[in-house]
Chain A
Amino acid sequence: SQQGEEDPQALSIQEGENATMNCSYKTSINNLQWYRQNSGRGLVHLILIRSNEREKHSGRLRVTLDTSKKSSSLLITASRAADTASYFCATQGGSEKLVFGKGTKLTVNP
């Protein structure tokens, strides 16, 4: 079963615009992670935010976490065509497994 639900399922923007993806989850977590996947390839870790953190930045990425609403958002600023990929949120509770959502497919048009 999938805990995280990303929204929207697909997003198409122009280069230079910002892209925002949202993730909701159901149970308590230890941390929440965002991954990126280029078509049919492996996942690349982007950022990890712990349950006691509210916001984290990494380059053009900004992640927020609201544990009271069980939701997170990923903002990519000044998007580039190379950002075109699927983005997944994944939650980790007390066990080792990551529970992934179905992902948001981002297309950045040049």
Chain B
Amino acid sequence: ETGVTQSPTHLIKTRGQQVTLRCSSQSGHNTVSWYQQALGQGPQFIFQYYREEENGRGNFPPRFSGLQFPNYSSELNVNALELDDSALYLCASSFKGGTGVAGELFFGEGSRLTVL
């Protein structure tokens, strides 16, 4: 186990709704990244938060937004859900020191979102 916990584990939404997914980082980590994994595909980078600020974003529209809290936990919010948003959403925590990249990521078990 990595110590990264995500909630909820499964949820079903309808098109147009909004969803919030939550993640608690591993102790000692200061960076949280979110990835979307469609069925049969590799994870795709959504964005990363470091010191409560967005620190890099992948090719996802603005309706994907996030937050990182002072205790390094994080939320992923998706507005105006579309059918293609159905996927496994993975949170990963890591430690980033100074100007270096974070390196190894520790993943949670994911939140599986189904949009009907």
At the interface, yes or no: B113 with Cβ under 8 Å from chain A?
no
- Chain B's nearest CB lies how many Å from the CB of A74? 15
Q: Which of B41, B59, B101, B104 contacts A96 (CB 8 A)?
A: B101
Instruction: Report how many A-B pairs have Cβ atoms within 8 Å.
Output: 73
Could you tell me if A96 and B40 are in contact, using CB atoms closer than 8 angstroms?
A: no
Query: Which residues of A (53-94) have their CB < 8 Å from a CB of B?
Result: 88, 90, 92, 94
Q: Given A31-B103, A48-B104, decide whether A95 and B42 contact each other with a Cβ distance below 8 A.
A: no
Q: How far is B104's CA from A102's CA once the two chains are assembled, in angstroms?
A: 19
At the interface, yes or no: B102 with Cβ under 8 Å from chain A?
yes
Q: How far is B87's CA from A40's CA once the two chains are assembled, in angstroms?
A: 10
At the interface, yes or no: A12 with Cβ under 8 Å from chain B?
no
A residues less than 8 Å from B96 (CB atoms): 96
Could you tell me if B112 and A40 are in contact, using CB atoms closer than 8 angstroms?
A: yes
Q: How far is B16's CA from A77's CA once the two chains are assembled, in angstroms?
A: 48
Q: Which of A2, A43, A103 contacts B107 (CB 8 A)?
A: A43
Chain A residue, CB-CB nearest to B96: A96
Interface pick from B43-51, B63-71, B76-84: B43-51
Q: How far is B2's CA from A106's CA once the two chains are assembled, in angstroms?
A: 23
A residues less than 8 Å from B105 (CB atoms): 33, 43, 45, 98
A residues less than 8 Å from B55 (CB atoms): 96
Q: Given A42-B2, A88-B42, decide whether A97 and B106 contact each other with a Cβ distance below 8 A.
A: no
At the interface, yes or no: B31 with Cβ under 8 Å from chain A?
yes
At the interface, yes or no: B88 with Cβ under 8 Å from chain A?
yes
Q: Which residues of A contact B (CB under 8 A)?
A: 1-2, 4, 30-31, 33, 35, 40-45, 48, 88, 90, 92, 94-103
| 15 new A-B contacts at CB < 8 Å, known A35-B107, A96-B96 | A2-B41, A2-B44, A31-B103, A41-B109, A43-B92, A43-B105, A45-B104, A48-B103, A88-B43, A92-B101, A95-B56, A96-B56, A97-B48, A101-B42, A103-B42
